[in-house]
Amino acid sequence: MQLSKLLAPTPKRLLAPMQRASTWPLLLVWIGIGALLRFTLLSAKPPWTDEFATLVFSLGNSFRGVPTDEAIALTTLLQPLQTNFGGTAGDVISHLLHEDNHPPLYFLLAHFWMKLFPMGHYISVWVARSLPALLGVLSIPAMYLLARVAFGSIAIAHVVAALMAVSPYGIYIAQEARHYTLAILFVISSLLCLTAAIKYLWRGSTIPMGLIALWIVANILGFCSHYFFVLALGAEAIALAVLLAILWRRVKSNTHARQATSLSSRAFKSSRGDRQTRLFLLFKNNLYRLGLTGLGTGLFILAWLHFVLPDNYGSTMTAWIRQDNRSFLGLINPIFQLGASVITMLYLLPVESPFLAVVVVSGILMFAYFCWVVPILVWGAKMQVRHPNYHLGLRVALAFVAGAIAIFFAVTYLKGIDITRGARYSFVYFPGAILLLGGSLAACWQYGDLGASLERSDRLKPPRHRAIGGNGKRTVAIVWLVGFLSAITVVCNWGYQKYYRPDLALPFLEQSAAAESVLIATTHETLVQVGEMMGLAWELKNTEIAQKTNFLLAHQPEKNSTVATETLTRVLKTMPRSLDLWLVNFQAPIDLHDCIAQSNSFPNINGYGLKLYRCPDVSDIRALDE
């Protein structure tokens, strides 16, 4: 069966052929704009600890070669980032399973991707980020296809693709050397299969086994891209349950029987009882096929968890998202964090600008824009739900997004794991949100003048848009233009800045140029801290203090332990005179009687807390101890 027939069960009178030449030039425009935004200034932002994990494992290297509890040179710390032409796919999988907490599919793709490009002594950040940027570009036509299947409308598909091209959240995810854009593609694929299956159900047709097989493959590959893909599967299950409940009511009332063109045999027309029996058998058969999807996906996941993952896999890597339900802020923060993620899928102004006035004005404008655009989207959703051709696609998107948000809150509040804290985890429902937003916004384009169209509605009152003349197409254009400007905000690093900013710490570290030696020390728990120090080393490697800078990863087995303090004291005894000691995110008691704390007040830097101590004559420490 052809893919277009498999995914597009809508009658031909409601859906133009999937291959329509006139649609491609405009789609190529959206793809071109999306590619330009995703590849612009791709390597300008400094890599951060999560990206370093991607770089190291994709090369087939390991973090375990970085020594702890001793002073190491900058080149030793950056050794895992050296190009490894002898690294194999087996090395990638082995190191990943034993040192990280992510599945291997993206890292294997990145491994082979990097082998396509010539690189120098160290890995190229641009090469590493170009793969997720390319996958982000591919999500644009993928969303176009999803919207075509969901709504059966070229106009809506173009609105959805246009929003995907300029979504600031999409730009942010695509410029990270991480696996989220690959996972997004599989969320789109799985959601595409769900939508097509529901449309078969709605028409009263049998779901093809080819679609079931395609759905299972998409789910398996999605799980192998990111383990949080299971949250998307949970959201799909909720959406499917909601729509099956609606469909079951239709089956029981027999209102759907006359529309099922595949059930128009004479025997079926003979009596009402026969129609109900046939519909019930068809419904049961489709439930059996949907069950095969869940069974095939579930068996693979269970087998993977049992046979592939080692014990205590990644247990120490998720401590940072543990939820504190004891405080008031701990209870309300997830709501605002999740809301912020959803908003930035549509727009984001320079709220992270270094200029306070710009931040304040941007915040005010974002709130004003929110108050303006939300009534439009709500009205558009109501209009599309009432449309005979578009209501099903909108219901699927709405149920999927609502189900995902419900799961996020359930995991956060019931399990005590705040997955709303990381905006990147919203990749789970990002495609569904764009489908919902695009489908709602497209109502403005399709119904022309907002005021006139709404005045013809008996129950829906129009939102007031006197400032733009009430023109629906102009409304869509303005929303898209705000999205485009928001994408530039992310590209220029005025929004969605990296969680770690070693580039901002560099000017302060260079204050140690006059010192004979420099030691940068931190407490070590996992490879996260190694990545933090790698960020500083990456920025320092081309400076004049690089040769005299050493790093210390003092392992700390538990919070407030003095083990790291003792390690620091021991290492200081081996260092030369005239030492500048930088404590960075040092989470242990500090006992440095012979080093002078500097009174410099360093500003807050993303991911780095700096303290400077000057140790003019470290040999005195040795004499005192002897």
In sequence order, what DSSP letters do the residues of 120-185 get, joined into one string? -SB--HHHHHHHHHHHHHHHHHHHHHHHHHHH--HHHHHHHHHHHHH-HHHHHHHTSSSSHHHHHH
**Element containing residue 597 per DSSP (H, E):** strand 596-597
> Residue 611 in 3-state DSSP?
strand
Return the percent helix, strand and coil in the chain, to nearest 5.
65, 5, 30
Amino acid at 148: R
**Percent over 70 (pLDDT), the chain:** 83
Shortest CA distance to 155 belongs to which of 68, 57, 27?
27
Q: What pLDDT is recorded for position 613?
A: 92
- Alpha helices, DSSP H, located in 492-581: 502-509, 527-540, 563-572
428 and 232 Cβ atoms separated by less than 8 Å = yes
Interatomic CA distance for residues 313 and 300, integer angstroms: 18
Is residue 461's pLDDT more than 80? no
pLDDT tens track for 485-505: 999 999 999 999 988 999 999
Mean pLDDT of the chain: 85
**Element containing residue 523 per DSSP (H, E):** strand 517-524
Q: Angle at the Cα of 128 (from 123 to 129), degrees rounded to 5?
A: 140
Shortest CA distance to 200 belongs to which of 127, 310, 282?
282
The predicted model gives 328-334 an average pLDDT of 80
Beta bridge partners of 608: 605
Give the range among 185-189, 518-522, 573-577 with minimum mean pLDDT: 573-577
Phi-psi region of 585 (alpha: psi -120 to 50; beta: other; left: phi over 0): left
The predicted model gives 349-378 an average pLDDT of 93
Interatomic CA distance for residues 16 and 53, integer angstroms: 46
The predicted model gives 548-573 an average pLDDT of 90
Residues shown for the chain: 626
Pull the structure tokens for residue 180. Answer: 């989220």
Interatomic CA distance for residues 148 and 195, integer angstroms: 11
Give the range among 164-178, 269-283, 571-585, 591-605 with minimum mean pLDDT: 269-283
556 and 536 Cβ atoms separated by less than 8 Å = no
Identify the band that residue 399 occupies on the pLDDT scale cut at 50, 70 and 90.
very high
Dihedral sign of CA atoms 323, 325, 330, 336 in order: positive
